Structure 1
């Protein structure tokens, strides 16, 4: 009996979990390693999943759990800082008409659903483990792990995120660059009238917004110019976010009243990166944030990462030959889709930084989202 091909997946976020489930379904032997002991099971506040992300989650077999755990909606509101609703726009169903346009979720809940799917797939999982060295030849990759063990694989998939150590280890020099913006995020109880995302432009921040993530919860966020993170003590995070949020009306006073615990407030810079030329070296291939990242202005980070996983696995399982030509074809197929999203996400933020008041934000968003309705 022929032994199944072996794949090492480095990183247990959305992309790594997705690629693991899909590879196991195709019958490949998969080891997944994750640096964090807790598998990031409690990290983050909320996430906005557009239809094209939901389409991949359905392929993973977890759509029913996502649907039951999240909050589906189909429009976005634009408000003045005082809460006056100026415009409501229907969201495009980028995953097709049989899926909601958008689902908001608590990020830890989504991670747990994906963790459960990985466990159920039969993949071997090791937490608190990193790849210490990679030694490639024409047929595979020898890996030494930080726990002192070694393994050999037909393919290594680097899904270890924005600051990917694997990307650097294989000689890809691209690094994320700050765009000039930063975001404060927090999870709070859902005000009864919040049934969609609303975005307020102007006021003391560039954007103040929120997204329902379940029947009982939302995540709220405020976007400002980035500041030296070292100058903001973590114990002041709630106070800093509350200071910005208290200038907004509508549902914001109710939301702001719950911004009290600095440990529940997250502060992150917006970054951009797109690895050019190829997303592989030999038999080590990048997926997700290890290959590309952009500001969350189009809420496409997780969606693009999981699409990478879906496309790569389909290409891997569609041929017996894993070579440079295959991995280059993967890059060329994905970069055509990823590049417009990265550029549009950065452009929307840059218009705000530059104070451009007549920018065609709705037009750019509409064109980009229409492209994403096509299958990846």
Structure 2
């Protein structure tokens, strides 16, 4: 990726100022909007949720390569002010006995923390503010109802009945992307067999890094500090029938699992009381192969790929997608199949490595493999991620 301060100007074909529609206001969509506006490209961003996802989610783990992109977006100082940086990972027994502590890989370089935890709504609000500051036009509670492609652009009809024409549409609408389906890409997310319970809670004073306990009634019980006074905790188990789960019992279910773990878990468990604060999600796998575009519609982030959070690289891969795509779009090249294929070619080996490693770690646990080559797999993956995409 080029430094965001020296992004080349956009091509002059089509309209005097190229126009882009970004569908979806998550991390990848927001990042794309910020970077394209900085390059002088006109951007409309639409988001289906009226609240722009500003209040949902518990916490997020951001490794160095994600922080590197956030720095390019110009929001690193705001991220650092509210997040919790750390540089190691602990592995414990279910009773809380620490087995070992490993230093995290600095995938973003030596001048950034190896890892930073933060509350997900805070990250989203920082990106929302940056999109607003960029001058992108934002419409909330709005979806794209139809996309009709011509030789040099896309005509879009919106859910409010309005229409627009764009030189490019970026589908950043997540795992169940309607944009992906609309352009005829048939891959769909597939469950891996695992699921996760998550909650935000007060941070016990002794929690200064991520600790993971393997075994007990769940596959993994872990927590990550997200600020001076907060953390998010999670328990990973085999996926259940979601239709049979009563959301009103979410806190009871997570608390039942969490009670089996020692160390600081009793302190955390005291705060698992409100079912509305507990999130239950299956782990999914998706990797679109061949290309991530059809004509002048291109996918980024979870719309093109997703993986379990077992190595905490989902947000990083999404942010990197947008940075690479923005670099190519503002390089002066024609916005054609060759450019969009170059975007895919830049991303696919790196993303495939992350998806396959993330799924493999979970599969080892599902299969009961007693001595997996975890260190080797993580070492190879993180060494690759130290390289710029």
1:222 aligns with 2:235: yes
Q: Within 2, Cα distance between the matches of 1:223 and 1:365?
A: 19
Q: Which moved more, 1:362-371 or 1:216-225?
A: 362-371
1:208 aligns with 2:196: no
* Cα offset, 1:319, TM superposition: 2.3
2:134 aligned residue: 121
1:194 aligns with 2:207: yes
Residue pair 2:333, 2:339 contacting (<8 A) in 1 also: no
1:292 aligns with 2:311: no
2:357 equivalent among 309, 319, 344: 344
**CA displacement, residues 307-354 of structure 1 (integer Å, 9 cap, x when unaligned):** 000000001111230100110111011001100000000000000000
1:75 aligns with 2:88: yes
Alignment of 1:89-104 (within 5 A): 89-104=102-117
User: How many residues are aligned here?
Assistant: 376
Q: Within 1, Cα distance between the matches of 2:236 and 2:243?
A: 18
2:99 aligned residue: 86
* Cα offset, 1:246, TM superposition: 0.2
Q: Within 1, Cα distance between the matches of 2:96 and 2:379?
A: 24
- What TM-score results when the alignment is normalised by the length of structure 2? 0.96
* Cα offset, 1:367, TM superposition: 1.1
Query: What SS class does the counterpart of residue 336 from structure 1 fall into?
Result: helix
Q: Within 1, Cα distance between the matches of 2:279 and 2:224?
A: 16
**CA displacement, residues 56-79 of structure 1 (integer Å, 9 cap, x when unaligned):** 000000000000010000000000
Alignment of 1:163-182 (within 5 A): 163-182=176-195
1:275 aligned residue: 288
Q: Within 1, Cα distance between the matches of 2:121 and 2:388?
A: 27
Residue pair 2:217, 2:260 contacting (<8 A) in 1 also: yes
* Cα offset, 1:167, TM superposition: 0.2
1:233 aligns with 2:263: no
Query: What SS class does the counterpart of residue 329 from structure 2 fall into?
Result: helix
**CA displacement, residues 51-108 of structure 1 (integer Å, 9 cap, x when unaligned):** 0000000000000000001000000000000000000000010000000000000000
Q: Within 2, Cα distance between the matches of 1:250 and 1:147?
A: 52
Q: Within 2, Cα distance between the matches of 1:195 and 1:180?
A: 30
1:306 aligns with 2:319: yes
Query: What SS class does the counterpart of residue 17 from structure 2 fall into?
Result: coil
1:320 equivalent among 316, 333, 341: 333
2:47 aligned residue: 34
Residue pair 2:46, 2:142 contacting (<8 A) in 1 also: yes
- For structure 1, which runs of at least 5 residues remain unmatched after alignment? none
1:371 aligns with 2:388: no
Query: What SS class does the counterpart of residue 320 from structure 1 fall into?
Result: coil
Residue pair 2:86, 2:115 contacting (<8 A) in 1 also: yes
1:251 aligns with 2:264: yes
2:3 aligned residue: none
How much is the aligned-residue C-alpha RMSD, in angstroms?
A: 0.8
* Cα offset, 1:173, TM superposition: 0.3
Q: Within 2, Cα distance between the matches of 1:332 and 1:167?
A: 18
Query: What SS class does the counterpart of residue 215 from structure 1 fall into?
Result: coil
1:11 aligns with 2:24: yes
**CA displacement, residues 158-194 of structure 1 (integer Å, 9 cap, x when unaligned):** 0000000000000000000000000000000000000
1:361 aligns with 2:374: yes
1:332 aligned residue: 345
Q: Within 1, Cα distance between the matches of 2:89 and 2:379?
A: 13
Query: What SS class does the counterpart of residue 120 from structure 1 fall into?
Result: helix
Query: What SS class does the counterpart of residue 35 from structure 2 fall into?
Result: helix
Q: Within 2, Cα distance between the matches of 1:272 and 1:195?
A: 30
Query: What SS class does the counterpart of residue 148 from structure 2 fall into?
Result: strand
Q: Within 2, Cα distance between the matches of 1:370 and 1:216?
A: 32
1:109 aligned residue: 122
Q: Within 2, Cα distance between the matches of 1:320 and 1:232?
A: 51
* Cα offset, 1:228, TM superposition: 0.3
- For structure 2, which runs of at least 5 residues remain unmatched after alignment? 1-11
Runs (4+) of structure 1 exceeding 3 A deviation are: none
